[in-house]
Amino acid sequence: MASKFLLVAQREYLTRVRKKAFIILTLSVPLLIAAFGAFMVKIAQSDSSAEVVEVRDDSGLNLAARLVSTPQLTFVPATGTLAEAKRGFQQAKHDGLLYLPANLDVENPNNVQFFGKGNISLKKQLAVESALNKVFSELKMQKTGLSQEQLDRLRSAVNLKTISLDDTGKEADSNAQATTGIAYALALAIYLFIFMYGVQIMRGVGEEKSSRIMEVMLSSVKPFDLMMGKIVGIAAVGLTQFLLWGLLSAGASTLLTPLVMGAGEDQPKTEVAAASTRLAGPTTAQNDQQNAAESPKSTPDSKSLLANPTNRFSIFSTLGNLPFGTILFGFIIYFLGGYLLYGALFGAVGAAVDDQTDTQQFMFPITMPLILSYLIGMLVILRNPDGPVAFWMSMIPFTSPIAMVIRLPFGVPMWQLALSVFLLILGFVSTVWVAARIYRVGVLMYGKKVTYKELGKWMFYKE
């Protein structure tokens, strides 16, 4: 009876979402994610903008104005004499002081000094040296008579624009990173969902068995309804949890990240910005390289990755070119199909054994294809989404939920998708059938050590 099935699903759902563990987990994971995100932002920030170096330029060559600030390294003019500057940069919490002495020889600049707090990292030293090298080489080039304009033209920045060409010859922006990221995220979501909530199904059945309520239940509900009610109820719990995680993480991140950003800006950034406008010259080659890797459309003028609107636009345009309809449709199908298929098997295992510790021997053959499809998916399919491994694994119902969603963002021929979905439906109908038979016999079986042979027999028991 449908209403009984709904009652069972409702109970499974309500008892679970009201548990303290559920509430705590639902609230704490987004906080962790947001905290992790904020941490990453902070790291990125400290990596990109934390280094502020004061420059004391006594060379008389106006070298300070030629030093180019990058996101990782900002040069600001020092105030006062060298002795004052040495104290001053520490008070201002700047990271170093670069001293360009009066008797600086452009051809052989070996008396430049850099003062820092404690040991100076190699990275910082290299960055400062690189900036100085550039200044000196420019100076030398200018000495040969090249104008600034000619210098700018000499600099080259190569940007590869990647374009995916489909069968009809239509061109579309492709971005391997975005596509891979989506494939990875989808596969991980399905993998986690099946594992987390599949195990909950198994535990739930085990609890019903050990609390001896099965027979009471079975006198009013058909075993199939009881099993499917549990599977569907727990799926709803999982969807609720994932949805809340998504919403809360987004919420927490938008709250937390500005806080962290603010904290990262306790250094006089405005001052830095104001000062660096004077110092800023043409962009560095280092900067260009970075942008080139990220963005097919970045121009040599771009100041930083984040501040570059064309870069962002390019990722979005790539996303727009992905087969979103197919991805979404496929994800829902494989998500539900995979969960039902594995959920039924987990339920059957819970029904077959008395003791939770006995589940190991039956868990192994279930988790094996799941783990394998995830690992092979990440290691092989992601790199070669059209290869034979990818094809076969996206056909077998036990591996297709993960293998196929990895392939989806890269584009999958329609006939393969159709065949795979058909096989998946066939697969979950038959596993649910098998699981229901094991379940029906298993739930009333106590005190018996179950073997595979035994399970085989249960399949053919009469009603």
Partner 1 sequence: MIPILEAIDVRKAYANHVALSGVSLAIPEGSIFGLLGPNGAGKTSLIRIITQITGADEGEIRFRGERLNPGHGIQIGYLPEERGLYKKMKVGEQLLYLAQLRGLSRADAVQRIKHWLLRFDLKGWAEKNVEDLSKGMQQKVQFIATVMHQPSLIILDEPFSGFDPINANLIKDEILELRKQGATIIFSTHRMESVEELCDNIALINRSRKVLDGPVGVIRNQFKTNTYEVEGKGKLMVIHPDFEVIEQIERENGHFFARVQLHAGVRPNDLLRYLIGSVEVEAFREKIPSINEIFIRRVRETMPETLAEQTV
Q: List, edge to edge, every strand of the sheet that includes 96-100.
A: 73-77, 51-57, 96-100, 113-116
**Sequence-separated (6 or more) residues with CB below 8 Å from residue 339:** 190, 193, 194, 197, 198, 231, 235, 238, 401
Asked whether the beta carbons of 374 and 187 are under 8 A apart, the reply is yes
Out of 217, 336, 389, 434, the residue judged to bind partner 1 by CB under 8 A: 217
Length of the chain: 463
Location of structure tokens 């420019």? 138
**Sequence-separated (6 or more) residues with CB below 8 Å from residue 106:** 61, 136, 139, 140, 143
Integer Cα distance of 207 and 355 in angstroms: 10
Helix ranges restricted to H, 280-399: 285-294, 309-321, 324-352, 360-376, 388-393
- Chain-centre distance of CA 301, in angstroms? 29
At position 60, the amino acid (one-letter code) is: G
Closest by CA to 164, choosing from 322, 290, 329, is 322
Q: Which residue, 120 or 434, has its beta carbon nearer to partner 1?
A: 434
Q: Which residue, 4 or 42, has its beta carbon nearer to partner 1?
A: 4
**What would the two tokens of residue 134 be?**
């550039």
Asked whether the beta carbons of 37 and 110 are under 8 A apart, the reply is no
Binding flags for partner 1, 172-211, as an x/- string (CB under 8 A): -----------------------------------xx--x
If one asks whether residue 448 binds partner 1 (CB under 8 A), the answer comes out as no
If one asks whether residue 212 binds partner 1 (CB under 8 A), the answer comes out as yes
* φ, ψ dihedrals at 235, nearest 5°: -60, -40
If one asks whether residue 24 binds partner 1 (CB under 8 A), the answer comes out as no
Q: Which residue, 7 or 380, has its beta carbon nearer to partner 1?
A: 7
If one asks whether residue 216 binds partner 1 (CB under 8 A), the answer comes out as yes
Out of 214, 248, 352, 424, the residue judged to bind partner 1 by CB under 8 A: 214
Q: Which residue, 134 or 437, has its beta carbon nearer to partner 1?
A: 437
Q: Which residue, 42 or 203, has its beta carbon nearer to partner 1?
A: 203
* φ, ψ dihedrals at 302, nearest 5°: -60, 135
Q: Which residue, 91 or 219, has its beta carbon nearer to partner 1?
A: 219
Stretches 2-10, 54-62, 181-189, 309-317: which one binds partner 1 (CB under 8 A)?
2-10
CB-count burial class (<10 Å; 0-12, 13-18, 19+) for 339: buried
- State the number of CA atoms in the 13 A half-sphere of 26 facing the CB: 17
**What would the two tokens of residue 274 be?**
């104001």
If one asks whether residue 444 binds partner 1 (CB under 8 A), the answer comes out as yes
If one asks whether residue 36 binds partner 1 (CB under 8 A), the answer comes out as no
If one asks whether residue 451 binds partner 1 (CB under 8 A), the answer comes out as no
Residues 136-175 that bind partner 1 (CB under 8 A): none
Stretches 219-227, 271-279, 349-357, 376-384: which one binds partner 1 (CB under 8 A)?
219-227
Question: Smallest gap, in angstroms, from Cβ of residue 74 to partner 1?
Answer: 59
Stretches 3-11, 57-65, 321-329, 377-385: which one binds partner 1 (CB under 8 A)?
3-11
* φ, ψ dihedrals at 171, nearest 5°: -100, 145
**What would the two tokens of residue 383 be?**
């790199």
Question: Smallest gap, in angstroms, from Cβ of residue 240 to partner 1?
Answer: 19
Integer Cα distance of 410 and 386 in angstroms: 9
Out of 39, 316, 324, 446, the residue judged to bind partner 1 by CB under 8 A: 446
- The alpha carbon torsion through 179, 182, 184, 189 (nearest 10 deg) reads -160
Integer Cα distance of 115 and 85 in angstroms: 10
Q: Which residue, 10 or 367, has its beta carbon nearer to partner 1?
A: 10
Question: Smallest gap, in angstroms, from Cβ of residue 444 to partner 1?
Answer: 7
Out of 23, 185, 213, 379, the residue judged to bind partner 1 by CB under 8 A: 213
Residues 222-251 that bind partner 1 (CB under 8 A): 222
Stretches 25-33, 220-228, 251-259, 318-326: which one binds partner 1 (CB under 8 A)?
220-228
Out of 125, 220, 361, 430, the residue judged to bind partner 1 by CB under 8 A: 220
If one asks whether residue 20 binds partner 1 (CB under 8 A), the answer comes out as no
Q: Which residue, 82 or 217, has its beta carbon nearer to partner 1?
A: 217
**What would the two tokens of residue 143 be?**
């000495």
At position 231, the amino acid (one-letter code) is: I
If one asks whether residue 462 binds partner 1 (CB under 8 A), the answer comes out as yes
Q: Which residue, 60 or 456, has its beta carbon nearer to partner 1?
A: 456
Question: Smallest gap, in angstroms, from Cβ of residue 28 to partner 1?
Answer: 21
- Helix, strand, or coil here: 124? helix
Residues in contact with partner 1, counted by CB under 8 A, come to a total of 27
Integer Cα distance of 337 and 125 in angstroms: 56
If one asks whether residue 218 binds partner 1 (CB under 8 A), the answer comes out as yes
Question: Smallest gap, in angstroms, from Cβ of residue 202 to partner 1?
Answer: 17
> Site residues (CB under 8 A) for partner 1?
1, 4, 7-8, 11, 15, 19, 207-208, 211-222, 444, 446, 457, 461-463
